[in-house]
């Protein structure tokens, strides 16, 4: 009888709690901060290194979907659900205290990347079942996730772009294999337009680097840059930099802040130029402090603290160019769905190749079509092309 009574008591408690949760705003789900759910997703994420490598290989097209991966996805369903719920929440405050500078405890970006890969594996499972709507929904969740990851600094920007690019690669694959469905293509186009309204901003990364560097350039903080070995400085310049820092006074501090501000102003101006000119100017500006420091102590702290903006700028353009190609391709698939055949020429008004600022080169082939860049990625000395297959 006591056992029966205990069961009844537990049932009453459960029902009461359920009622309270369902009627109280305190327990509303999901919470109004997506970061809470992403952190929970990280807590529930479980995968051995071998399985993570397998997931990575699947994402890069090196292997096909298999039973081990399906089991891994099933075992991580709770982590996936938390991340998907988080992606649907507008506000995302990570709770980072950036005032601590380099001592700031950063978010688990590598785990976020693994979570995204796991969700996209689930999208492949849905596609294999023929549920392309659910597969695309999962990819869109990852694109929203990527925009939450992209927050403030360069590291977040790079990881956000990488996650977004992986989602677009999966959408590219789904477009090649899903049945021709104009209604779904229109829905996908509209969903991506909403997501793209929140763009990845390289300027915000420059602003963040600016704020952090100015803190280091205050007289009382300068000695904290020692030892020089902590910074990526050519050995030929390390002794020069160390000499200037050891002798630092208020005049040195003020001179270095003025030098930095002039350079950052020129970098921000370069970002408004077309890619080719912007990259060349950023490369020149990023190389300038290492040339100036030999005779100008005002260039010392900029030499230590200036990120390789030229390379990260190119990486950003590269990361955003595939999404442009995917969005242009959707319009071509829509023409095919309406007319029964691919257009002979690229429709007007489509997203452009960011390396040239011009429309992609469009070429039909036996399997579908190719969108080729007209401009070169100058940091890689490479011209990219994106192949889109059409289901026969």
DSSP state letters, 357-368: TBPPEEEE-SSE
pTM value surpassing 0.75: yes
Tens place of pLDDT per residue across the chain (392 aa): 444 455 555 555 545 445 444 444 445 788 999 999 999 999 999 999 999 999 999 999 999 999 999 999 999 999 999 999 999 999 999 987 766 555 565 679 999 999 999 999 999 999 999 999 999 999 999 999 999 999 878 889 999 999 999 999 999 999 999 999 999 999 999 999 999 998 889 999 999 899 989 988 998 888 888 888 777 778 778 888 888 898 899 999 999 999 999 999 999 999 999 999 999 999 999 999 999 999 999 999 999 899 999 999 999 999 999 999 999 999 999 999 999 999 999 999 999 999 999 999 999 999 999 999 999 999 999 999 999 999 87
C-alpha 142/C-alpha 123 separation (Å) is: 10
C-alpha 253/C-alpha 222 separation (Å) is: 8
Environment class of residue 137 by beta-carbon count within 10 Å: exposed (0-12), middle (13-18) or buried (19+)? Answer: middle
**Residue 100's pLDDT is what?**
58
Environment class of residue 260 by beta-carbon count within 10 Å: exposed (0-12), middle (13-18) or buried (19+)? Answer: buried
- Per-domain boundaries in the chain: 1-28, 31-199, 205-307, 314-389
Characterize the bridge pairing of strands 385-389 and 361-364.
Answer: unpaired
Cis, peptide link before residue 30, omega less than 30° from 0: yes
* Angstrom distances, CA of residue 64 to CA of 1, 61, 286: 56, 7, 43
Place of tokens 């100036």: 292
Alpha helix segments (H runs only) across the chain: 2-23, 34-44, 49-59, 67-75, 77-87, 109-128, 132-149, 154-177, 182-196, 202-216, 235-246, 250-270, 275-292, 300-305, 309-339
Query: Are the beta carbons of 354 and 234 closer than 8 angstroms?
Result: no
Residue of 114, 102, 197, 196 lying closest to 155 (CA atoms):
102
**Residue 281's pLDDT is what?**
98
Q: Is 231 helix (H, G, I), strand (E, B) or coil?
A: coil
Alpha helix segments (H runs only) across 218-308: 235-246, 250-270, 275-292, 300-305
**Residue 117's pLDDT is what?**
97
- CA 188, 116, 197, 369 dihedral sign is negative
* Angstrom distances, CA of residue 74 to CA of 68, 80, 244, 388: 10, 9, 58, 30
48's tokens: 């051995």
Cα angle 285-288-290, degrees, rounded to a multiple of 5:
135
**Residue 98's pLDDT is what?**
61
**Residue 24's pLDDT is what?**
42
């Amino acid at each position: 009888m006591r056992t029966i009574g205990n069961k009844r008591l537990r049932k009453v408690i459960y029902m009461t709690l359920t009622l309270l949760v369902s009627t109280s705003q305190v327990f509303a789900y999901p919470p109004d901060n997506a970061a809470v759910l992403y952190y929970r997703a990280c807590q529930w994420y479980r995968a051995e290194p071998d399985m993570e490598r397998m997931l990575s290989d699947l994402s890069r097209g090196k292997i096909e979907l298999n039973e081990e991966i399906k089991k891994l996805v099933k075992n991580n369903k709770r982590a996936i659900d938390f991340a998907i719920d988080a992606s649907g929440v507008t506000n995302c405050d990570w709770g980072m205290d950036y005032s601590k500078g380099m001592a700031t405890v950063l978010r688990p970006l590598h785990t976020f990347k693994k979570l995204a890969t796991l969700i996209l594996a689930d999208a492949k499972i849905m596609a294999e079942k023929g549920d392309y709507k659910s597969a695309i929904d999962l990819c869109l969740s990852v694109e929203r996730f990527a925009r939450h990851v992209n927050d403030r600094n360069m590291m977040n920007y790079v990881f956000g772009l990488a996650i977004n690019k992986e989602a677009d690669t999966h959408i590219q694959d789904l477009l090649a294999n899903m049945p021709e469905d104009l209604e779904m293509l229109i829905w996908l186009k509209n969903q991506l337009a909403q997501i793209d309204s929140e763009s990845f901003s390289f300027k915000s990364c420059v602003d963040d680097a600016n704020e952090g560097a100015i803190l280091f350039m205050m007289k009382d903080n300068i000695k904290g840059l020692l030892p020089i070995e902590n910074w990526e400085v050519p050995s030929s310049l390390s002794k020069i930099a160390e000499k200037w820092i050891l002798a630092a006074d208020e005049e040195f501090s003020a001179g270095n802040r003025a030098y930095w501000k002039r350079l950052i102003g020129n970098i921000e101006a370069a970002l408004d130029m077309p890619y080719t000119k912007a990259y060349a100017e950023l490369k020149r500006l990023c190389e300038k402090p290492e040339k100036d420091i030999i005779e100008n102590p005002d260039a010392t702290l900029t030499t230590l603290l200036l990120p390789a903006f030229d390379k990260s700028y190119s990486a950003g353009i590269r990361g955003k160019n595939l999404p442009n190609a995917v969005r242009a391709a959707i319009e071509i698939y829509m023409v095919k769905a309406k007319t029964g055949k691919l257009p002979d020429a690229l429709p007007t008004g489509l997203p452009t190749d960011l390396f040239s600022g011009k429309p992609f080169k469009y070429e039909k082939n036996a399997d579908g079509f190719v969108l080729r860049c007209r401009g070169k990625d100058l940091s890689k000395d490479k011209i990219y092309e994106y192949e889109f297959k059409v289901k026969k």
